[in-house]
A and B are shown apart, each in its own frame.
Chain A
Amino acid sequence: AQKITQTQPGMFVQEKEAVTLDCTYDTSDQSYGLFWYKQPSSGEMIFLIYQGSYDEQNATEGRYSLNFQKARKSANLVISASQLGDSAMYFCAMREGPNFNKFYFGSGTKLNVKP
């Protein structure tokens, strides 16, 4: 089974609108971490937001928020007030394992922000 599933290969959003990028995960560990990264065309991976499995509050970082639904094993990224510079690939990732050193990435979602 896929550890991280991103079902949206591509998304379009109008500038200044909000967009939700979907992510579901699969783990039997009690302790794990969920991440979202942005990868522009330059190739660098940019950390956006982190959610720990024991965190009760949804993580927020500026315009980014993570909608964490533990029972559903989903960790959707919400970007508010989209900007043209948000156009990029977005990857959801999970960290788990006995030493917390196993990372798994989803297949990514290509977000295009339209002016």
Chain B
Amino acid sequence: GAVVSQHPSRVICKSGTSVKIECRSLDFQATTMFWYRQFPKKSLMLMATSNEGSKATYEQGVEKDKFLINHASLTLSTLTVTSAHPEDSSFYICSALRAGQGSYEQYFGPGTRLTVT
């Protein structure tokens, strides 16, 4: 099956610092990657859609300047939480759509737990 990795799996940072989370598709090319945020015992909230070589599309209410997304290659997308604050603490999950027609399934990464102190 298709594998998506995320790094780091856990990160603790101080308020005001920036944190970068990587999402990689290990054995397939992903033209589209998604970034989700999940609060404890809550559903996944789509933050943005990342397409290789173009600007990310952010969902309403998600600050573009705070959550920087870069999709530099067909196997890597990064999410940078800039000037992090305690309210940014959450579980961040990425997913990837396999390139090619007829692909409907998104493959999820294992998630990154961010704690901002």
- Which A positions have Cβ atoms within 8 angstroms of B? 33, 35, 37, 42-47, 50, 52, 91, 95, 100-108
In the complex, whether B44 has a CB less than 8 A from a CB of chain A is: yes
Residue of B nearest to A44 (CB): B110
How far is it, in angstroms, between the C-alpha of A103 and the C-alpha of B93 when the chains are bound? 13
In the complex, whether B67 has a CB less than 8 A from a CB of chain A is: no
Contact with A along B79-117 (1 / 0, CB 8 A): 000000000000101010100000011111011010000
Residues of A close to B108: CB separation below 8 A:
37, 44-47
How far is it, in angstroms, between the C-alpha of A47 and the C-alpha of B105 when the chains are bound? 8
Contact with A along B37-62 (1 / 0, CB 8 A): 00000111110010000000000000
Decide if B43 touches A106 in the complex (CB within 8 Å).
yes
- A43-B110 contact, Cβ under 8 Å, with A50-B105, A101-B49: yes
In the complex, whether B32 has a CB less than 8 A from a CB of chain A is: yes
Decide if B46 touches A33 in the complex (CB within 8 Å).
no
- A51 → chain B closest CB, angstroms: 10
How far is it, in angstroms, between the C-alpha of A99 and the C-alpha of B36 when the chains are bound? 18
- B48 → chain A closest CB, angstroms: 11
Decide if A103 touches B106 in the complex (CB within 8 Å).
yes
Residues of A close to B91: CB separation below 8 A:
43
Decide if B104 touches A50 in the complex (CB within 8 Å).
yes
Residues of A close to B43: CB separation below 8 A:
91, 105-108
Contact with A along B13-32 (1 / 0, CB 8 A): 00000000000000000001
Residues of B close to A107: CB separation below 8 A:
42-43
- B104 → chain A closest CB, angstroms: 5
- Tell me which of A45, A102, A108 has the highest count of chain B C-beta atoms within 10 A of its own C-beta: A45
Residues of B close to A103: CB separation below 8 A:
34, 46, 106
- B51 → chain A closest CB, angstroms: 8
How far is it, in angstroms, between the C-alpha of A109 and the C-alpha of B113 when the chains are bound? 22
- A3 → chain B closest CB, angstroms: 10
- Tell me which of B44, B105, B106 has the highest count of chain A C-beta atoms within 10 A of its own C-beta: B44
